[in-house]
Structure 1
Amino acid sequence: MYEFLSSHKRHDIVDMQEIFNEKKNEILKENQEIESIIIPMYKKKMDNIAGKISTSTAKFDELEIEAEKHRKLWHREVDNNFNKVDSMIKFTRENYLTSLKSHQSKYKNHIPDLMQTVDQNKEILKTDKVSDVNNYKSKLTEYRDIPADIDVKVPSLNTNTVQGRELSIELGEYKATLTQTSLSSLTERVSLYLSMRELLEKPRVIATIPTGIQPLCQVACVGKDEAWVSGGFGIIRRVDIHGSLQEPVSAEFVLSPYEISVTRQGELIHIDSFNGTVNIVRDGRTEVLITPPQGWTPGGLCCTRSGNILVNVKSKRQNKILRYQGKILRQEIYKDEHRNIIFKEGHCVLNLTENNNGDICVSYLNAGIVIVVDKTGRVRFKYDGTPARREKPFSPRLIVTDSMSHIIVTDNNNTCLHILDQNGQFLKCVDNCRLNKPIVWIVREGCG
């Protein structure tokens, strides 16, 4: 019996208990390595990345602060130059006017003496006294020596503006120039050329993503592979690039679905028009983030790259844009530098997006225009759709920007997209890639 267990047709027989023990030892060693080496390594990597995130965030915050500091310095330098120009104008004005008035006084002071001489000569002409006539002394030579005219020329103010390159101002012998140069101009030109070439090619559909929502109203991207989508009946869902639902059905909300955006942390924020608030969704729970001032209701919505939130608020027929940092109101935008109202009266909300340079791009259906203001609220330009030469009136709806700072706005009347550069120059229209009521197709990018 023993010989049978030990070998079989010259093959070694291994004890099952031994195999069992060896397997258990192998599993034990694997577990020990995972617990003692691999998991700590993963945690260390995770901590390293967390440290890098924290450090990078702090450095980017410092960059923003530094840039803002230099913005103020540049503005101060420009103001200093114009203050010098103003001082020169005032100084030259006073000197020139003083000189002219001095010469005017000279002429004025001579006139009474001349008139007195004329009167005296008239009396002499009337008299028959020989002595008076013989004693007369002519002053004509003196009077003919009229003070010379003063040649005063008001200096001209010359300016030169090459947008994006140079600003200069010149008054008399004073000249100030602000020049923009680029160390990577060749790279930028190549990048711009490739971008423009790609932009001018025929557009094509690269993906169709099913959402299960009809009608689809807005899309707010979360990274590259997921997005929040909103639609009719107050439905909001999170889907991936294949259309698969990434959030449970309980994440659907009964509210006004038309305005959604995503924070830098990938959290959904949306307008609750019923309660008049801006809400945020965290871990599947909805919280009130912003309550606008009393009498104002929220409309358009946009998260900025700096972490601020831009909210369009309405009061009756008036519109404003409010900038919030968390729950704190930091800025109101509704008047231009001349104290004129930027956004005319109307019932429609303002659709908002932020460009890479910090400009706030506004699609304003009430006036049928796109308005772009800078961070301070100064109006940079307006676009009314005229350069596109479409058949029907321009009807701007949703608006976004891309990585090249192009501004893309939907035109519902003409079923197309208008594409502008960041300075408002019209580039082209897109109307031949199966668009159907593009108000429901445009994608609003998330921040982050």
Structure 2
Amino acid sequence: MMSESSDEQAAGQHYLVCGTEDCQENGQFYCNDCHRPLCEKCKDEHLKNPDTKSHETVPYRYRKQQLPVEKCKQHPTRNVDIFCQECKISICLKCFKKEHKSHDFDDLEDLYAEKYALWQGEFSKIQKYFLPSTQGMKTDIEDDVTEIKKIMESIRTSMKAEAESLKNLVDEVTSENIEHTHTMEISLIQMLKSQETTYDDYIAYLGKMNDEFQEYLSLTNKKLLFSETLRIKTIPETTRPVPPVFTKGKFSKDDISKLLGSVIVPNIKPEKRKIQPMEAVTTHMKSTEKQLEQTNEKSNVKQTLSLSSSVTKVREYSVPGVNSAYHVSVDKSGRLWVSNVRGNLVQTDLQGNQLQKIQTSGVWEGYHTATQDGDLIYTDKDKKMIYRITPDKKITEFIKTGDWRPLSVHSSRINGDILVGMIKDKEAKITRYSKTGKEIQNIQRDNQGEELNPHYITENINGDICTSAWNKRAVVVVNKSGQHRFSYKGQGSKFIPFGICTDVLSHILVCDSYYSTVHLLDQDGEFLSVILSPRLGINSPRGVCVDDENNLYVGQGNTNTVTVYTYLQ
């Protein structure tokens, strides 16, 4: 229900108002019998009124869905509001009295609300269990693909090393065998040379004997008659060498395969992927919500939070060193970090005194975030670098983003992961890093093909990633797997969103610079109210964040003022 009481309200107060005539307060409650929103005051009066004191009033987010109006075909002036159990048809009261009086029946509105809640529950299961679980299994498969590739590459490297080792052994043995042939060759040739020498000596002996026989055979020589008969030595015997014979090795391809080893798949039954039971997920979610709803850690007493009937201003800071407050972060010590459109990033203490001032390339983006460890993370899109500042003011390079220019950053309150919104040319993406800077996930488009354009980024307690883009005039929310949850484009004719944050009740708060308002949405993107507007003293809201005490910090674009409010009770 929209306020239409004046042009000013039509232009600047597009929020859910109380359904009581002439009441313009926020309609935080709902009468399931009257089907209209009520403010807290009107709700109390509604329950005191004798005519309506038995009506069921609930917080707006838990309202019963109103039965769609349908006219009876038999009685066009009557609405269908009864369901005949016996005939299984929807009828009006007149039909019931006339034809179905003895039949059992149900109130169609109660039945519709019951079915609506049932299907809403099933829808919620898809969003919170089936899709994330399936996407998680898909991620496991992708991890398995990466692991298999690593294993197979390692096996191939081992096989090459094994083959190289065998080749080296073959070369070594072959070299030794060749060297042995040289040794054998030298030995055989030495033996043959010795035989040559034996025959050379024998030939020389024969020449000498030849000369001596010629002398004896001379006609004038009388010695022949008186000398002993000369005898010729026999020819020396020698042996032929036995040449070596090469015996070929006996081996086959199978022998080589045995030497080199082989790759086999073990005969092990594949292990089924574990699917977390829905009950475990539900229990974990409820446990997480209970933990996050504990607002008094010192006493460790669980407190139930709800929206307050009014927004109360707590304190105000004038931040030195900046002329505007386009983004605000609060660290664990309660100190403020504020940035403006000139790239100045300033830290102040609780009294508003400047502690640090850093020059960055940031403009109107949410480019800094406080971590669970007490550090500050900020981006520099020109240097394509993400920096870390420790409490002792030491600045170190944390993550290099390559070709991508980091715009926005958020440190998860759930697990400490770092979410970074980046751009490159005309593309945009969200990258999730672990708290140590290891890249975990990239989301470039949601499953509906919508680009995210994250000028500001935050994470809800249910794991949803919420982005705000003033150039796209929209808030786009995806779940932790990148599946589209919803898009929010404001309540009026114009909507220019800037800073965005969430709280422990999973509300989403976003600045609308066009109407100078701060909108409050539930986790499913349903508009609840405008909690801050010019009539409440806010002007040009740009940056928002919620601290551990559930205080809302709002920075303004035309001044260096940061104002702190309470809106939960």
TM-score range, shorter chain: 0.5 to 0.7
- 2:266 equivalent to 1:163: no
Q: Which residue of 2 aligns with 1:208?
A: 316
Counterpart AA for 1:399: I
Q: Which residue of 1 aligns with 2:394?
A: 285
The within-5 A match list for 1:376-391 is 376-385=481-490, 388=491, 390=492
Q: CA deviation at 1:165?
A: 8.9
Give aligned pairs, total: 263
Q: 1:302 aligns with which of 410, 415, 426?
A: 410
Q: Secondary structure at the match of 2:542?
A: helix
- 2:444 equivalent to 1:343: no
Counterpart AA for 2:316: T
- 2:524 equivalent to 1:423: yes
Q: 1:412 aligns with which of 513, 519, 529?
A: 513
Q: Partners of 1:416 and 1:167 in 2: how far apart?
A: 33
Q: Which residue of 1 aligns with 2:440?
A: 330
Distance 1:330 1:254, change over 3 A: closer
Q: Which residue of 1 aligns with 2:558?
A: none
Q: Partners of 2:122 and 2:521 in 1: how far apart?
A: 16
Q: 1:443 aligns with which of 540, 545, 550?
A: 545
Q: Is the 8 A contact 2:498 2:512 kept in 1?
A: yes
Q: Secondary structure at the match of 1:429?
A: strand
Q: Partners of 1:412 and 1:166 in 2: how far apart?
A: 32
Q: Which residue of 2 aligns with 1:374?
A: 479
Q: Which residue of 2 aligns with 1:355?
A: 460
Distance 1:291 1:444, change over 3 A: farther
Q: Secondary structure at the match of 1:161?
A: helix
The within-5 A match list for 1:169-188 is none
- 2:343 equivalent to 1:234: yes
Distance 1:328 1:197, change over 3 A: closer
Q: CA deviation at 1:237?
A: 2.3
Q: Secondary structure at the match of 2:529?
A: strand
Q: Partners of 1:320 and 1:342 in 2: how far apart?
A: 11
Q: CA deviation at 1:235?
A: 2.4
Q: Partners of 1:266 and 1:167 in 2: how far apart?
A: 35
Q: Is the 8 A contact 2:332 2:372 kept in 1?
A: no
Q: Which residue of 2 aligns with 1:312?
A: 421
Q: CA deviation at 1:236?
A: 2.0
Q: Percent identity?
A: 26
Q: Is the 8 A contact 1:205 1:433 kept in 2?
A: no
Q: Is the 8 A contact 1:312 1:350 kept in 2?
A: yes
Q: 1:400 aligns with which of 501, 507, 531?
A: 501
Q: Partners of 2:124 and 2:345 in 1: how far apart?
A: 48
Distance 1:443 1:162, change over 3 A: closer
Q: Is the 8 A contact 1:234 1:253 kept in 2?
A: yes
Q: Secondary structure at the match of 2:317?
A: coil
Q: Is the 8 A contact 1:361 1:370 kept in 2?
A: yes
Q: CA deviation at 1:278?
A: 1.0
Distance 1:203 1:161, change over 3 A: same
Higher helix share: 1
Unaligned runs of 5+ in 2: 1-114, 127-276, 295-302, 550-569
Distance 1:318 1:204, change over 3 A: same
Q: Secondary structure at the match of 1:203?
A: strand
User: What's the C-alpha RMSD, in Å, of the aligned pairs?
Assistant: 3.5
Unaligned runs of 5+ in 1: 1-157, 169-176
Distance 1:231 1:197, change over 3 A: closer
Q: Partners of 2:395 and 2:479 in 1: how far apart?
A: 32
TM-score (norm. length: structure 2): 0.42
Distance 1:433 1:291, change over 3 A: same
Q: Which residue of 1 aligns with 2:383?
A: 275
Q: Which residue of 2 aligns with 1:365?
A: 470
Q: Partners of 2:402 and 2:547 in 1: how far apart?
A: 27
Q: Which residue of 2 aligns with 1:223?
A: 332
Q: Partners of 1:446 and 1:267 in 2: how far apart?
A: 15
Distance 1:286 1:355, change over 3 A: same
Q: In the TM superposition, what whole-angstrom CA distance separates every residue of 1:203-257 from its partner, at most 9, and x where no partner exists?
A: 2322112211311222111126222222254322222332133x3x5x4334426
Q: Partners of 1:438 and 1:352 in 2: how far apart?
A: 16
Q: Secondary structure at the match of 1:238?
A: strand
Distance 1:309 1:299, change over 3 A: same
Q: In the TM superposition, what whole-angstrom CA distance separates every residue of 1:363-395 from its partner, at most 9, and x where no partner exists?
A: 12333221111111111122121xx3x3x4111
Q: Which residue of 2 aligns with 1:256?
A: 362
The within-5 A match list for 1:54-93 is none
Distance 1:359 1:254, change over 3 A: closer
For the pair shown, which has the larger CA radius of gyration, 1 or 2? 2
The within-5 A match list for 1:17-56 is none
The within-5 A match list for 1:141-156 is none
Q: Partners of 1:335 and 1:236 in 2: how far apart?
A: 30
Q: Partners of 2:383 and 2:429 in 1: how far apart?
A: 19
Counterpart AA for 1:375: K
Q: In the TM superposition, what whole-angstrom CA distance separates every residue of 1:271-298 from its partner, at most 9, and x where no partner exists?
A: 112212111113323222111132x211
Distance 1:287 1:414, change over 3 A: same
